[in-house]
Structure 1
Amino acid sequence: MAIHELFPYLCVDNAAAAVDFYCHVFEVKEIFRLTEPSGRIGHVELDFHNGAILMISDEFAEFNIRSPKALGGSAVTLHLHVDDADALVARAVAAGATLDMAPQDQFYGERSGVFRDPFGHRWNVGHNIEKVTPEEMQRRYTAMFDTPGGGSCSS
């Protein structure tokens, strides 16, 4: 079996507002949308460049398709690599996202920050600051737990 692509498909409680937020914050373009006569959005695709597509829909409780708000949170984090994590996280927060972790240098060679968008989805946004081998990454990870207060994600 060959897997050709993987597309995250987010359910939100207001797809039209989510599309506006994502297009503004991530500077992406809407490809197309399918809207019911009632106005409920069944499907939207956003072009995140380089072949990355994000799909979005409104809630469909009758099919058990519910947003993080309806479920009381989300267990999924979307990890996005960008040119400038600080700028994107700041833009997201200015647009209404909740800051979970300000951008900081991480043990795995990335500067990243975390926010929750207004629709309940969690985003980890980062950019590379150094190349780290898997062995060095493990060493740094282990060292975090050997220090008082260890276990944080900063280096």
Structure 2
Amino acid sequence: MESFLPQWLVDFSVICSIVGLIWTAVVWLETRKIRHEFLVRIRLPDMIKELRDEAKNLLAALAEWEQGADHTKTHSAISTLKGVLMNLKYKVAKDDLKQVLRVIDLIDQRSMIFVVRPVATITKEHAWALSGDVSTLVALLGQRVKDIKWG
């Protein structure tokens, strides 16, 4: 079937379509990046407050566990802390994501590649180490929020 348009015009329209597709992909990626940066600036301070509160709850539960109380309160605090961290991992910059994932991995205690041990198997020593890592993460993210406010 013969076209009513000259071949050079058809070729030009194909090239324009390809350039338009590439331009759309670039704009979409930049929009995602801006959205993520906006989420980090707006949501991160609130998330750090929640993380700080959960870290305090974990310390209080650990102190009770040291004095002979039941371990269920500590394990409950660790589970809640894991939920906050799972939410936080989508709202931090790539630099801080490694630290968040490292703390989540400490909670998960993978025995094999895909097998995650339950939180109830966490020992007292492991819980204290986890508490120290969470405190480090809170301090790191607190400094990041201060940097964001300056920028």
TM-score calculated relative to the size of structure 1: 0.23
Q: Whose helix proportion is higher, 1 or 2?
A: 2
Structure with the bigger RCO (C-alpha within 8 Å, sep 6+) is 2
User: Which of 1 and 2 has greater Rg?
Assistant: 2
TM-score calculated relative to the size of structure 2: 0.23
Q: Whose strand proportion is higher, 1 or 2?
A: 1
